[in-house]
Amino acid sequence: MTETQRGAAIETMFEEVRRYPPDPGFTANANAQAELYELDFEELWAKESQRVTWFEPWKTLLEWEPPYAKWYLGGKLNVCFNCVDRHVEAGKGGKVAFHWEGEPEDDRREITFADLQADVVRFANALKELGVGKGTPVGIYMGMVPECPVAMLACARLGAPHTVVFGGFSADSLSDRLNDMECEVLITQDEAWRRGTTVPLKRNADEALESSSGVKKCVVLRRTQGEVSMERGRDVFWNEIVEGKSDDPQSCPCEPMDSEDLLYLLYTSGTTAKPKGIAHTTAGYLVGVATTHHYIFDVKPESVYWCAADVGWVTGHSYIVYGPLCNGTTSVMYEGTPDFPDKDRWWDIVERYKVDILYTAPTAIRSHMKWGPEHAERHDLSSLRLLGSVGEPINPEAWIWYRDHIGGGGTPVVDTWWQTETGMILISPLPGLTTTKPGSATKPFPGIDAAVFDEQGNEVGPGGGGYLVLRRPWPAMLRGIYKEHDRYVETYWSKYPGVYFAGDGARIDEDGDFWLLGRVDDVMNVSGHRISTIEVESALVDHQEVAEAAVCGRMDPTTGQAIVAFVTLKGGAEGSPEKLAELRNHVGTKIGAIAKPANIVFTPELPKTRSGKIMRRLLRDVAENRPLGDTTTLADPTVVEEIRDRGTTDQTEE
Ligand code: WTA
């Protein structure tokens, strides 16, 4: 967000006077009671560690040597045991873990915890045969099929760290990640369903593996039965390798892992072209996600919880797979898009499974708003008890619409702030305790020390704005950027020494409630997905006809931000609608469809300072159709006028 945007956002939010105190009926039965805020943070995290089953108890709660924290030192445990086996051992094998709903209608599966255990054990046995063991890095490139969590859990069972690559990423993005983590095995599927058509995951994987020679084995799940080519000696079908494998948990015991052993890497965009491999370890992560899931979503033993994110993002890791399964929760998992075959698909699902907790992103809520409330009205949504939001700032209008049209006007709405790096939710209302305000994520979770700092590092008081920081470690925090110590220090710990800098702007109001205002760095947030401006720029200049490119975000009523690219072609060539489509596709190939610019403005030159720096601030003004700021430092002030003329007649596809 630019300064002006942020200013406007702050104003609308501060005019927001609606308050929703908790319903006393909800409070009486809420998982979170007021004492939770009173515990000292060490007491709290020691107590909550009992949520998890330990093979050997931990000895030291926390070792904090900034910027690295270690939690629950000396403990031994296994994430898969906690998410699967212990529930079966406790006699809950018959409980549904996932109500899975495929995109093609009537394609449904009910997977109990006992089923999940059998599937995980069989698959882990098969992975073992392929050479996967403790410490073997494994890549997972799948859609929203139950086998995706099965693959993650099988890795966790064996102690093999995984990286899940979102199915919307391109072959190039996949191979970059596989190479960075040095993955030896890739698990994928033939194709994924998407809005009635298919995404060729195996074909992308084949292309990726051409430049990821470290991957020796590729497991292919048949999902659509679409045609795939299989490389002899490397590629194997999932159904063939699990055939005849034992599903007896004793045949493949859960590897006792150290609290600080790597559980997974998840790559996220930073301010350079290279994504960061965010490292999450075993014990602190599991305690953090299970605890927040329990209190923030007020999950009950009989709950049917639905997190509508994709497993490929951190929300899916923490709140579809690890948190809910650790808590023994029944979840809904849906493969497809919200509007297939019709715009009421989600509400059909909520009604059919009697979902009581729904967790989604503001972008999705705004799409439903745009489609109109009549789709929800056709269904009985009275089972819903709580609604959650994540991924980007939620505008008060969408918050209210969500509560009124989906929640029937009575459900608490929890706006949860967190990041890939934080692993778990850090700022959120606690339902039953917190008075909510549309647009505010309200209070730090118990034990979390969040604050807003000004440029100089002074804490700003109520009513003030600045940068969001965290002053104390938390269990699920990242343990660094994989193989990039300096970048870890530079990105998060150098703006204010010893304090975690989140990269988000925030305001704090008179009640101490937090209002999150979007990124303050060169990272855009498109439909809740983080995309770096530099990453898109380098994808554009990778095209042989592009001389230079500059990228920025502009506001978009549905996707939050949309990507605008300013492009100069080589040899002074003029742009054309064909070139526009070609460049968009090129970005799709380099990164993935989510990163395709919404607009491309072709321009003979980019506005630069006399020292040659591109003036992005001016481009953002053009992208937003705002009056231009100071242009006096420009080498050639006429350039920006020219772009402005072109920008207003820019060529947009779709
Ligand atoms: C933004 C997603 C406002 C923020 C879990 C953060 C939010 C980035 C919220 C992390 C929220 C996430 N209100 N902004 N409730 N939740 N963000 O890593 O800019 O994909 O830094 O993690 O999303 O995105 P990430």
Q: Is 317 in the pocket of ligand 1 (CB under 6 A)?
A: no
What pLDDT is attached to residue 271? Answer: 79
What pLDDT is attached to residue 650? Answer: 47
What pLDDT is attached to residue 651? Answer: 46
Q: Is 393 in the pocket of ligand 1 (CB under 6 A)?
A: yes
Q: Is 516 in the pocket of ligand 1 (CB under 6 A)?
A: yes
Distance 278 CA to ligand 1 centre (A): 15
Q: How far is the CA of 289 from the CAs of 247, 296, 502, in angstroms?
A: 28, 10, 19
User: pLDDT for 423-432, tens place per residue?
Assistant: 999 999 999 9
Q: Spell out the domain ranges in the chain.
A: 523-650
Q: Is 368 in the pocket of ligand 1 (CB under 6 A)?
A: no
Distance 260 CA to ligand 1 centre (A): 25
Cβ neighbours around 129 below 10 Å, total: 12
What pLDDT is attached to residue 647? Answer: 65
Report how far residue 554's alpha carbon sits from residue 540's, in angstroms, rounded to the nearest whole number. 18
User: Does a cis peptide bond (omega within 30 degrees of 0) precede residue 67?
Assistant: yes
Report how far residue 50's alpha carbon sits from residue 33's, in angstroms, rounded to the nearest whole number. 18
Which sign does the torsion angle of CA 314, 317, 320, 326 carry?
negative
Residues of the chain with pLDDT under 50: 1, 649-654
- Looking at residue 298, its amino acid is D
Report how far residue 155's alpha carbon sits from residue 130's, in angstroms, rounded to the nearest whole number. 12
Residue among 504, 521, 529 to mutate when testing ligand 1 (max atoms within 8 A of CB):
504
Q: 3-state secondary structure string, 205-252?
A: HHHHHHCCCCCCEEEEECCCCCCCCCCCCCEEEHHHHHCCCCCCHHHC
CATH of the domain spanning 523-650, picked from 1.10.150.530, 3.40.30.10, 3.30.300.30, 3.50.50.60: 3.30.300.30
Q: Is 478 in the pocket of ligand 1 (CB under 6 A)?
A: no
Residue among 418, 492, 524 to mutate when testing ligand 1 (max atoms within 8 A of CB):
418
User: Given the structure tokens 């996932």, which residue do they identify?
Assistant: 98
User: Given the structure tokens 């006077």, which residue do they identify?
Assistant: 17
pTM, rounded to two decimals: 0.93
